[in-house]
Structure 1
Amino acid sequence: MKALGNCVILISCGGLCRLWGRALKVRVVSLDLDGTVVSREYVDYFWLELVPRLYARRHGLNLEEAKRLVYSAYDEVGPGDMRWYQPSYWFKRFGIEEWLGDALREAGRLVRVYEDARRFLESLPGSLIAVLSTSASREFVELVMEREPFLRGVFRRVFSSSSDYSLPGKPPEFFRIILRELGARPEEVVHVGDDPVHDYENPRKAGLRAYLLSRSGGDGIRGLDELLAVLEA
């Protein structure tokens, strides 16, 4: 999805930050979770490997056939539907609900914070506030926090569009909710993530300033180190 779609981190800075050639008083920075702060490996393994494997075990199928049926079910629902984001829905639908906890723990072993994200978060001055927000369900957010405990101390707020607001993906309304919850003006917030629509177009529609993260090349910043340079400018 992008299985889980992504979380937003928010960071405050009282000073003037140089952004796109203009001096701006940035108060909040918003970061996506999967593909931005942590690698997508754990969540892809969960949805694309673990779920089909458990489905095959339950229904006596070979793995190839199980993958075909599971992936077809994913496509049938799609990312515009709230059920897409809910592990509990899929495990109940596939008749494997008793294995959800074990599956999350197994996938959790693959949680990995990107090194540039770790440097960025560990380098934040104490005056900055970090908030995480995502389209991922709370199950995945908690899994990441359990595997990387230092993140709990970094993020003062966590926003999950799917679990907290019943919103699929990260539509503009999600970012407007974040603004209201934080008491921030759109021009005070910078959002960063790896999805061109959910992390760039949609926050901009809500009035936020946005950067697209593209570690593999192409348009956008190559790593969160670049964002730190902007905030410190």
Structure 2
Amino acid sequence: MSKGDSMLDWQQIDTVLLDMDGTLLDLHFDNHFWLEHVPVKYAEKHQLSIDEAKHHIYPKFEQMMGKLEWYCLDYWNQELDLNMVELKQEIKHLITLRPGADEFLRALHQSNKQVVLITNAHQDSLSLKLERVELAQYFDLLISSHEFGYPKEEQLFWQGLSERIAFDGGRTLFIDDSLPILRSAKEYGVKHLLAIKQPDSTKELRDTEEFEAVTNYHDLLPV
């Protein structure tokens, strides 16, 4: 397996851990869902203007960001009195892969690497996205942080992961669009870390601070 023009030295990597939303999938779906679609449906249900709905629910979102509840559809079903899975189904056409992700995943699948999806997404959200985009076939294992009871932002997630799968942090690549999550992985001892320059295709490129970042997965080929 030669390095070619890849930005990575694949000879130094045995395990590849990949996030889903904003990393393999365009984050536009999730941003539109939480910031636009949910407020519209909440406004309809509670006879509010959309601005009133946003004023009511945005603080709830901010309070839970980085916690497992933020990613838990069951929590928001109860908190907002809405069926979150049904609402996601209504806009599932927005679920799409990021540029080059399919080619990258195929190359990984043909390699001798251990390839694992690790996501904070609730199982129902994960299932919906796997129905829409064929991802499962490329992975040795699909893991939701809800299985461990802790999000990837917390060290307890990484401890749980190390009990679930065998991996050497010094020979592991982890790609995620969340900088706090990448910092958590670094603290745990994961050596090869990459961020995403443009998780949401409708928004501008962003500063990924101390992390190197991927714009297009073609930059990582060949693996």
Please, what TM-score do these two structures have when normalized by structure 1?
Answer: 0.79
Show the 5 A alignment for 1:78-93.
78-93=64-79
Query: CA shift at 1:24, angstroms?
Result: 5.2
Instruction: Provide Cα deviations, 1:8-56, integer angstroms capped at 9, x if missing partner.
Output: xxxxxxx697999988542101112111100111111221122211211
Instruction: Provide Cα deviations, 1:42-79, integer angstroms capped at 9, x if missing partner.
Output: 1112211222112111111111111111112223x322
- C-alpha spacing 1:128/1:175, structure 2 compared with 1 (3 Å): same
> Does the CA contact (< 8 Å) of 2:85 and 2:124 recur in 1?
no
SS at match of 2:150: coil
- C-alpha spacing 1:170/1:158, structure 2 compared with 1 (3 Å): farther
Give the share of equivalent positions with the same residue, in percent. Answer: 23
Structure 2 unaligned residues grouped into runs of 5+: 199-204
Query: CA shift at 1:101, angstroms?
Result: 3.2
Structure showing greater relative contact order (alpha-carbon pairs closer than 8 Å, 6 or more residues apart): 2
- C-alpha spacing 1:47/1:218, structure 2 compared with 1 (3 Å): closer
Alignment partner of 1:223 is 2:213: no
Show the 5 A alignment for 1:40-119.
40-75=27-62, 77-96=63-82, 99-119=83-103
1:136 corresponds in structure 2 to 121
Structure 2: how far apart are the matches of 1:17 and 1:180?
A: 31
Q: CA RMSD in A?
A: 2.6
> Does the CA contact (< 8 Å) of 1:179 and 1:186 recur in 2?
no
The amino acid across from 2:45 in the alignment is R
Structure 2: how far apart are the matches of 1:60 and 1:110?
A: 27
> Does the CA contact (< 8 Å) of 1:17 and 1:25 recur in 2?
no
SS at match of 2:189: coil
> Does the CA contact (< 8 Å) of 2:99 and 2:216 recur in 1?
no
- Name whichever of 133-142 and 216-225 sits farther off: 216-225
Structure 1 unaligned residues grouped into runs of 5+: 1-14
The amino acid across from 1:173 in the alignment is L
Structure 2: how far apart are the matches of 1:175 and 1:31?
A: 14
